[in-house]
Amino acid sequence: MSSITESLPGVAVATKANVYFDGKCVSHGVTFADGSKKTVGVILPSTLTFNTGAPEIMEGTGGSCEYRLDGTDTWVKSGAGEKFSVPGNAKFDIRVTGEPYSYICHFG
């Protein structure tokens, strides 16, 4: 397990929330000084399917989830301080069964 990112200094945060799946996933966009973007959010207990455009790295900052990449039948657990990668132009399932899963989504 690696360290948990606790803050993102020097960023601009979009104050309007991105709300998905009837409020089961809520995130805010974050823009860094170099123009790179991430989202910071939370997923409430549920099982959801996401579609990606660009490749993503999901970094857990609280709680835990299980994810299943497109084309596999295997659910893999990921928690705070852990990351998993999702290819671009793909989909993945994520399920949260306990406390909400907090994350940073890194694009690119």
Burial pattern 79-95, b for ≥16 Cβ within 10 A else e, equals bbebebebeeeeebbbe
Q: Is beta strand 76-79 parallel, antiparallel or unpaired with respect to 64-69? A: antiparallel
Q: Tell me the whole-structure pTM to 2 decimals.
A: 0.93
| Pair 36, 9: CB distance under 8 Å | no
Best CA proximity match to 8, nearest among 40, 55, 34, 56: 40
Q: What percent of the chain has pLDDT over 90?
A: 91
Q: Which residues of the chain have pLDDT under 50?
A: none
Query: Where are the domains positioned within the chain?
Result: 11-107
pLDDT at 3: 85
pLDDT at 108: 74
pLDDT at 63: 98
Which value, to the nearest 10 degrees, does the dihedral of the CA atoms of residues 97, 106, 71, 46 take?
20
Q: Which CATH superfamily does the domain covering 11-107 fall into?
A: Jelly Rolls (2.60.120.10)
